[in-house]
Amino acid sequence: MAAPKSCSSRSTSLRDASDCGSPKMEGTDSWDALEWTKIESIPRYVSLSNFEFLLEEEQVVAEGHGVVLVNTDEAGSLIVTNFRLLFLSEGTRNVIALGTIPLATIEKFNKIVVKVQSNTRQLDKTPPRRLLQVIGKDMRIIVFGFRPRTKQRRVIFDALLRCTKPARLWDLYAFLPGLSKFSNTNPKVRLLGEYFRMLGKSSYHVSMYMIERGSFTLSNDLWRISRVNSNYTMCQSYPFALIIPKSISDNEVLQASSFRARGRLPVVSWCHPGTGAVLARSSQPLVGMMNMRSNTDEKLVAALCGKLEDGSRRKLYIADARPRKNALANGAMGGGSESSSNYFQSEVVFFGIDNIHAMRDSFARLREYLDTHGRTSSDGMSSFLRHGGWTWGGGNLSSMSASVLTLGDSGWLLHIHSVLAGSAWIAARVAMETACVLVHCSDGWDRTSQLVSLANLLLDPYYRTIAGFQALVEKDWLAFGHPFSDRVGMPSVCSSGYELPRQSSTGSFPSSPMRQSSGTFTSQTPTSSHGQTSNHYSPIFLQWIDCVSQLLRMYPSAFEFSSAFLVDFLDCVLSCRFGNFLCNSEKERQQYNVFEACGCMWPYLADLRASEGVSHVHYNVFYEPSKYNGPLLPPAAALAPTLWPQFHLRWACPLEAQAGEIEAHCRKMALKNSEMHKAKELAERNAKEITIAMESLSVEFQNEKQLGSSARNMAKRTSKENMAIKRAIQSLGYKVHFPGSGDCVVDIESNPVGPLQNFIYASSKKDSDGSEHDKRQDLCNSATTMEGDNVFSRVCENLCPYRARDGGCRWPNAGCAQLRSQFVGLRANFDAIDQLSINDSYFKSE
């Protein structure tokens, strides 16, 4: 929200204008006297159609410049696109949230003329202020002021008139092709999945093939899924599949449907998996003034009740959401309510919840109250210390009590309390008495949907998760035919084609008493007020979301989702950006393939959450599922409702709407804790990797150590053998040389008798067949001698322990040499010597 401007700003309030010498307006409780002459001339702007703030497939339709947002006295540009009304700040070109609203969220918009009254005689020369008032379904009233003597207001107004009332349903922004990227499965598949969960058949896989074949009619001991309404012929506002008692046939279902308004017969909405207690819903019975009866209807209701474990029949409560007088009045028109005497062991209870018209009027009064007494009022006057003045609620301090009375007069909180109390009563009967409760109103799609879905939320912890909340909305609101197009004011489908419901009256939005008394502004003609809503418009679904927020306030640890999730969810519903809540029934959405042509809201919200994980604002940081794993049964004293700050106050009192400072602080702490947990996991993973690497290195080190030890032992052994050979050879008077090549050269020096002879012995022999066989080709033993005596006999005489006493050799034909004795072959390869198998007795110990 922009801060209040000083006198030098482009627009000033009444009090600032007075201080700066501008003419005063009669009455201090009226529109600000905007100093239009202080607004500089605006040059021709470049088209904003390619700016980054535009969504996918969003296109600019009309633009207006030099426009003032009266709520905050901020100047900027006003743009109409095919999806929303955008207000951009003049200086920064940032999107101002207060002045930006989706077209489908606009309830009505009016042209207003403000005539400045002055004590001077130049009143005729002062141009009137031309304003555009936009009233939203999301609790805001915003006013734009346009420069005098321009046609910008007319351009914006005509563009809004065209874009907010398309001639065809598929002209809506939701049907543009680029938005279908947020696709999802067919709603029928998701509904059957929830049915299977309720019946304990979650192991079955649901597919469109199963639905097309009609093989989804599963059952348990008490209930079964019927496809009697698969073509929507029995009831056009009921889903294609229904859960009914197992003992009731489809023919009996068809007969019972004729006794209920619009064919909405009693069916199961929720059943307790342990006790068998059931929560059922229907429309009013057609008893009329004659108190008619239906045997099949009574049989169906009796089958819903079932029996207890001891064989006795379960208690039946028939919860009529209407006041008793309204039920009696409907009896004159063929409707009415059940008689407890016609239904065995039953009790009829009237909750006294008002109809859709009372809810619509109450919502309008609440919106007017918040705008009048808010910080950013649409008349430019803040309720508290506006520009340093001493006002509160547009008047003096005595208006504080009057404003409280005004809030009570709106009746909104009283209606919220009635819905909460009725739902808590229903949940208590099912959970504590294991009773059967049948809920209905007139048609069974407004107050019935509120009570049944809220009781589901109290009874089943699954519905308090994000996935369960989606299943609950799709089951009890979308599948069971809440008329969203009529109640939210969206385009509807009728038998003759597509049309938008028109508003029955063209009167402008009623002003507060404070504004009516000032008399300083007047509306133009009655045709200047245009609205999207019809007489069937009513914030029934918004009221239910408000009730959910009250439960979230009472039980902050029982819900997986947060209040921010509810606000974003409700904004998606009101904006018509996705196709989930178009049309009035499942039949219409299936008939016109809305789920294929439009994007789906659920993947969009899931995509938002996936960007930040569990730290996203949609998740409740206080959620403790183990603590609240059963039903919630709030006592009557805890059901006193309050305003929902995040939704009711976000436009009128934006600072006060951000009251969840503790939640924000806890969210930051949770985020830091999550980051520390991730860092801890990363450190543990790195430590584990380091430990494994160290163990691997330790094993390698041990292997290397063993190899080194073996090499040292081998070297010692080789050295020992070399020394023994050297001593043995030297004892014969030979010289031994060990060159680096590994060969051993032995020079035999003795008394030379004859000429020098070279003797080369090759270790080879002739086989018996005459072929030569080389036992080791890599070993060549050679000796060079300088004497004529037989070298072999001299060696044998001195060293060989196996020589016979008679001097004979035990190795005929020099067999010892053929066995590679290191004493024969005086030029030996020591790589081969390591492989010799000569008895250790050849070597003497030192």
Give 665-673's long-range contacts (Cβ < 8 A, gap of 24+).
666/621, 666/622, 667/615, 667/617, 667/621, 670/614, 670/615, 670/621, 671/615
User: What is the pLDDT at residue 674?
Assistant: 78
Which pair of tokens denotes residue 4? Answer: 């209040």
Phi, psi of 114 (to 5 degrees): -110, 120
- Rounded-to-integer distance, Cα 150 and Cα 143, Å: 17
Question: Residue 828 has what pLDDT?
Answer: 42
Both tokens of residue 768?
């018996």
Q: Where are the beta strands (DSSP E) in 505-581?
A: 521-523, 529-531
- 625 — pLDDT class (breaks 50, 70, 90): very high
* Rounded Cα–Cα distance for residues 331 and 286 (Å): 8
Lowest mean pLDDT, pick from 56-65, 122-131, 239-248: 122-131
The amino acid at residue 602 is W
How far is the C-alpha of 221 from the C-alpha of 693, rounded, in Å? 59
What mean pLDDT comes out for the span 340-348? 93
Q: Residue 88 pairs with which residues in a beta bridge?
A: 77, 95
Instruction: Give the domain ranges of the chain.
Output: 14-164, 660-725, 731-842
pLDDT tops 90 at residue 635: yes
Rounded average pLDDT over 582-590: 94
Residues 6+ apart with CB under 8 A from 242: 225, 226, 228, 229, 253, 267, 268
Q: In whole numbers, what is the pLDDT of the chain averaged over residues?
A: 78
Q: Which residues 6+ apart lie within 8 Å of 47 measured at CB? A: 60, 63
CB atoms inside a 10 Å sphere around CB 642: 11
CB–CB of 750/716 below 8 Å? no
For residue 742, the model assigns a pLDDT of: 52
pLDDT score recorded for residue 653: 87
Residue showing tokens 């201090």: 28
Conformational region of residue 133, where left means phi above 0, alpha means psi within -120 to 50, and beta covers everything else:
beta
Give the pLDDT of residue 673: 82
pLDDT of residue 493: 64
Query: Between 2.30.29.30, 3.40.50.720, 2.40.220.10, 1.10.8.60, what CATH number should domain 14-164 receive?
Result: 2.30.29.30
When pLDDT is cut at 50, 70 and 90, the band that residue 810 belongs to is low
For residues 694-714, average pLDDT:
92
Q: Distance between the two ends of the chain, CA-based, in angstroms?
A: 104
pLDDT at residue 750 above 50? no
Q: pLDDT tens, 222-237? A: 999 999 999 999 999 9
| Poorest-pLDDT segment among 219-223, 231-235, 320-324, 378-382 | 378-382
- State the Cα–Cα distance between residues 475 and 239, nearest whole angstrom: 9
* Active-site option among 441, 572, 744, 800: 441
Predicted pLDDT at 117? 64
Q: How many Å apart are CA 77 and CA 442, to the nearest integer?
A: 47
Residue 168 pLDDT: 79
User: Is-contact 456 472, C-beta < 8 A?
Assistant: yes
Which pLDDT value is given to residue 120? 56
- Mean pLDDT value of segment 305-321: 91
Give pLDDT, residue 578. Answer: 92
Identify which has the larger pLDDT, 787 or 379.
Answer: 379
More confident: 11 or 55: 55
What pLDDT is recorded for position 796? 54
C-alpha torsion angle, residues 629, 632, 633, 639 (rounded to 10): 150
Checking if the pLDDT of 484 tops 70, the result is yes
Active site residue 441: yes
Lowest-pLDDT choice from 70-84, 513-527, 597-611: 513-527
Which tens digit of pLDDT belongs to each residue from 1-22?
A: 333 333 333 333 333 333 333 3
| Per-residue model confidence (pLDDT) at position 479 | 97
Model confidence band, residue 584 (pLDDT cutoffs 50, 70, 90): very high
Spatial separation of the C-alpha atoms in residues 576 and 558, rounded to whole Å: 30
